[in-house]
């Protein structure tokens, strides 16, 4: 038995019919990080220009002078955050927000009105130009001291990584919680990197109703969920993420994982397993897609 019986409507706050624009999640941000590594790792910043002072960017007055001359030493992802490590103990922290992305901008590229920052990287005779485009302006750029990253609130508060947490630690993390599983998976303080798309997909694959309390899910099912999360995220990364709205990698190519989606964005369409219509409801303030037959509360 996977979960105890309960009122299936106890956590529903309202029905939801408006499509939400998804934020880039772990696979999308990892895809961007890999694209940046291929293009700028080991290169020196020849120029950095902030084109929109009103954008959410720290150090706006001396943005160029602080970055120019620094060499990119490493690029990593932490949860949904990008960390571009630079020489001289500096790191450019970036959160893509809803629509932020890095776009290759060669000599023939015409800057867009939504390109809020422009960078030129060089190593020998090899040059790479990138623009940071953000239509909705929810993205964020901030230059920080690398050895102070652990104290940066946005990073310090993150939970463990879904791809590296052990099955034992995953079960311990969720088994004693009274919270509902869907919002718990979305809580970056508990587990870093999962958003609506992959929470919906993994819960469906595990046969868990999104309203089920964590403490009501047995150990075996939590272990299965852990394995499904890691398998799904790895497959999404190999597919360069999911493009539902306007996400694309640094190469400008959209992701391909949307062709594998079983429930997310499929409201009213038949479940691939049983044929029942996929339901979309708001649970604890966030939309959830699920099949009430395959994911019934038992």
Catalytically active residues, by annotation: 24-25, 80, 286
Nearest to 6 by CA among 212, 245, 239, 225: 212
- Are 91 and 145 a contacting pair, CB within 8 Å? yes
CB atoms within 10 A of CB 84: 26
Q: Spell 209-225 as b/e; 16+ CB within 10 A means b.
A: bbbbbbebbeeebbebb
Give yes or no for a contact between 96 and 23, defined as CB atoms under 8 angstroms apart: yes
Rg of the Cα trace of the chain? 21
Rounded CA-CA distance 112/258 in Å is 27
Could you give the C-alpha distances from 174 to 25, 123, 211, 212, in angstroms and in order? Answer: 20, 47, 14, 12
How far is the C-alpha of 108 from the C-alpha of 157, rounded, in Å? 42
φ, ψ at 81 (rounded to 5°): -105, 145
Contact 43, 72 (CB under 8 A): yes
Q: Which neighbouring-strand residues pair with 14?
A: 282
């Amino acid at each position: 038995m996977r979960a105890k019986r309960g009122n299936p409507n106890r956590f529903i706050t309202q029905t939801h019919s408006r499509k939400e624009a998804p934020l880039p999640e772990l696979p999308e941000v990892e895809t961007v990080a890999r694209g940046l590594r291929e293009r700028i790792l080991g290169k020196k910043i020849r120029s950095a220009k902030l084109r929109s002072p009103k954008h959410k960017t720290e150090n706006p007055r001396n943005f160029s002078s602080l970055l120019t001359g620094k060499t990119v030493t490493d690029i990593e992802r932490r949860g949904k955050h990008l960390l571009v490590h630079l020489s001289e103990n500096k790191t450019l922290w970036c959160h893509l927000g809803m629509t932020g992305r890095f776009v290759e901008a060669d000599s023939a590229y015409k800057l867009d009105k939504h390109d809020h920052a422009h960078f030129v990287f060089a190593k020998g005779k090899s040059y790479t130009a990138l623009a940071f485009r953000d239509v909705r302006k929810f993205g964020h750029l901030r230059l920080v001291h690398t050895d102070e990253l652990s104290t940066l609130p946005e990073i310090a508060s993150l939970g463990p990584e879904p791809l590296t947490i052990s099955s034992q630690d995953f079960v311990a993390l969720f088994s004693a919680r009274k919270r509902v599983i869907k919002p718990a998976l979305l809580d970056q303080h508990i587990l870093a990197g999962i958003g609506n798309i992959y929470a919906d997909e993994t819960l469906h694959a595990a046969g868990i109703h999104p309203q089920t309390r964590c403490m009501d899910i047995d150990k075996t099912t939590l272990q299965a969920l852990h394995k499904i999360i890691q398998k799904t995220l790895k497959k999404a990364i190999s597919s360069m993420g999911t493009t539902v709205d306007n996400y694309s990698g640094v190469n400008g190519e959209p992701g391909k994982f949307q062709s594998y989606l079983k429930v997310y964005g499929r409201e009213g369409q038949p479940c691939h397993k049983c044929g029942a219509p996929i339901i979309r409801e708001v649970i604890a303030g966030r939309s959830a897609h699920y099949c009430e037959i395959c994911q019934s509360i038992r």
